[in-house]
Amino acid sequence: MKMQKEMKKYCPKCKKHEIHGVGIYKKGKDRKAAEGARRHAEDKKGYGGQKFPELKRTAKTTKKITLRYTCKTCKRQTMKEGMRLRKLEIQ
Ligand SMILES: [Zn+2]
């Protein structure tokens, strides 16, 4: 799918349609010492440590892409989740 670099879209902060920049959201790096990560590591320890079946191969052939819109006037960022695409081109 092809997307334009800028588009006019409703901004919840300006409360009207403004020009937004379009980008792709990327997940940040996981912290190793986060509470959930430490708990998970503790759960996996020892004999029979795996709590749920490990995913060997996924059924899906695509990944969900989250778009991030940035308002050019107030810099407010909004996201649009959940588009399954093989490939996204921003031009
Ligand atoms: Zn705005």
Q: What CATH number is associated with residue 72?
A: 3.10.450.80
Q: How far is the CA of 21 from the centre of ligand 1 (A)?
A: 11
Whole-number Å distance between alpha carbons of 65 and 84: 6
Domain-embedded: residue 46:
no
pLDDT tens for each residue of 13-42: 999 999 999 999 999 999 999 999 999 999
User: Which percentage of the chain shows pLDDT scores above 90?
Assistant: 58
Whole-number Å distance between alpha carbons of 21 and 83: 18
Q: 78 lies in which domain range?
A: 1-26+63-86
Q: How far is the CA of 11 from the centre of ligand 1 (A)?
A: 5
Q: How far is the CA of 20 from the centre of ligand 1 (A)?
A: 8
Domain-embedded: residue 18:
yes
pLDDT tens for each residue of 53-70: 888 888 989 889 999 999
Structural domains in the chain (count): 1
Residue 64, both tokens: 């969900």
Q: How confident is the model at residue 76 (pLDDT cuts 50, 70, 90)?
A: very high
Domain-embedded: residue 91:
no
Task: Evaluate whether 78 touches 7 at the Cβ level (below 8 Å).
Answer: no
Q: How far is the CA of 75 from the centre of ligand 1 (A)?
A: 6
Domain-embedded: residue 8:
yes
Q: How far is the CA of 7 from the centre of ligand 1 (A)?
A: 13
